[in-house]
């Protein structure tokens, strides 16, 4: 069984520790845990690893958050991964910092990465793991907020929450979306 695990983020050292790049950071942690390495290949950093008899294909799109759908569409078709086995890992401003939710499907909720994926796949029927980054910004400052680094207080807790997110991803691949949602949401 094949899975496509997609971390949303922006390429470049200036974005590395930003809130918008939490999807990349979670996939980096997962890759490290599973002892795999990313290689740049066809508009994404790609890694394949076996986990409990399943093929996990990890991608970090290299064409920025707002155009993530192009990479997801390419890799999902190339690998012939079913929609229900695509898991998109991203930041969410509507969830308090550090809370993590896994959902079967849903709207883009104003997230440009999800909007791009929805447009390219022509569906919203794929799972997503949302990492809460909170919404501590003034009106009109959302872009600056998501492209800023986590606060010192948040940074102290981030590694614990990233580890929990990797556990949720592995659970999704091992026991499925429903049981994972019951266990972690």
The catalytic site residues sit at 20
d(CA 122, CA 109): 16
Ramachandran assignment for 6, one of left (phi > 0), alpha (psi -120 to 50 degrees), beta (any other): beta
d(CA 52, CA 45): 23
Q: Which of 127, 101, 107, 133 is nearest to 21 (CA)?
A: 133
Q: Are 174 and 51 within 8 A, CB to CB?
A: yes
Partner residues linked to 101 by β-bridges? 130
Name the DSSP class of 13: G
d(CA 161, CA 72): 25
């Amino acid at each position: 069984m094949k899975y496509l695990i997609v971390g949303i983020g922006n390429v470049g050292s200036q974005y590395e520790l930003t809130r918008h790049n939490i999807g990349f950071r979670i996939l980096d942690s997962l890759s490290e845990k599973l002892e795999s390495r990313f290689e740049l290949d066809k508009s994404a950093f790609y890694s394949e690893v076996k986990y409990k008899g399943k093929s996990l294909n990890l991608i970090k799109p290299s064409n920025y958050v707002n155009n993530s759908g192009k990479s997801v569409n390419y890799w999902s078709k190339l690998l012939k991964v079913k929609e229900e086995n695509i898991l998109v890992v991203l930041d969410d401003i509507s969830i308090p910092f550090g809370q993590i939710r896994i959902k079967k499907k849903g709207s883009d909720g104003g997230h440009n990465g999800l909007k791009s994926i929805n447009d390219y796949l022509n569906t919203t029927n794929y799972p997503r793991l949302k990492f809460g980054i909170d919404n501590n910004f003034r009106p009109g400052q959302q872009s600056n907020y998501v492209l800023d680094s986590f606060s010192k207080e948040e940074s102290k807790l981030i590694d614990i929450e990233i580890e929990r997110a990797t556990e949720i991803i592995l659970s999704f691949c091992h026991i499925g979306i429903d049981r994972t949602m019951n266990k972690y949401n």
